[in-house]
Amino acid sequence: MAKGGYSDDEVLEIFVESVEELLKSNFVAEIEKDGVSTKTTWSEESGFISQRIGPRKDSVKAFLLTLRFFGQNNEPTSLCNMEERINGLGVDRDLKKRFRDNRNNFNSFLDNPPCFTFPAESNANSRRQILETFLYGIFAHANPKYRRQVKAWENALFYDEIRAQFDLVLLEYLRLLIVLAEICRKCVNVNTTEAGTAADGAA
């Protein structure tokens, strides 16, 4: 074990356990039950009315409490720190490449436009903008800049759609983590096997 910190295997196990916690969340249960979508209706009395179908706000906030361990670089389980850690392990290069490629693909996904086109001046031109604005504006922090942007979105006709896009980005984030957790399991198995072989040789 590293002095004053976690061993490699412990960090890998924490990563896997955190992903399993996300899979058991209300956020996932509510998406499995109702999905994520928006519905727009029109009437002469009310005009256009938009309704978002998706997980409740408190379920999203609870989900993000665990998700933050994968995004904050002061955590050993952040994706950046995990890639560096796995690169330093004595495991197959294919596992290292798979972790790196999946992380890079997700970053590309974030930097691309959402599947729904919003006005150019809306500051919702990429999935990363949507993710960071909701995350730092109202769900995990209260950054003034991002909070004001969320409040501006709330007054727009497309708010429910942009809010649904946030849910879909979180769902894609979870899909990534499921793949990375499987890679971590394989890395733990390799480390355990190698440790057992070394112990047998020393006996």
Tens digit of each residue's pLDDT (9 = 90 or more) over 101-130: 999 999 999 999 998 899 999 999 999 999
Instruction: With respect to residue 63, please indicate whether it lies within any of the assigned structural domains.
Output: yes
How high is the mean pLDDT of the chain? 89
For residue 149, pLDDT over 50 is answered with yes
Return the pLDDT at 45: 64
Instruction: With respect to residue 1, please indicate whether it lies within any of the assigned structural domains.
Output: no
Is residue 44 helix, strand or coil?
coil
Find the domain containing 27 and state its range: 8-196
Instruction: With respect to residue 70, please indicate whether it lies within any of the assigned structural domains.
Output: yes
The Cα-based distances of 81 to 8, 12, 41, 100 in angstroms read 11, 11, 46, 11
If one counts the domains in the chain, the total is 1
> pTM of the entire structure?
0.88
Cβ atoms of 26 and 55 closer than 8 Å: yes
C-alpha torsion angle, residues 54, 57, 59, 64 (rounded to 10): 110
Instruction: With respect to residue 44, please indicate whether it lies within any of the assigned structural domains.
Output: yes
- Contacts of residue 64, defined as CB under 8 A and 6 or more positions apart, other chains included, come to 135, 139, 140, 170
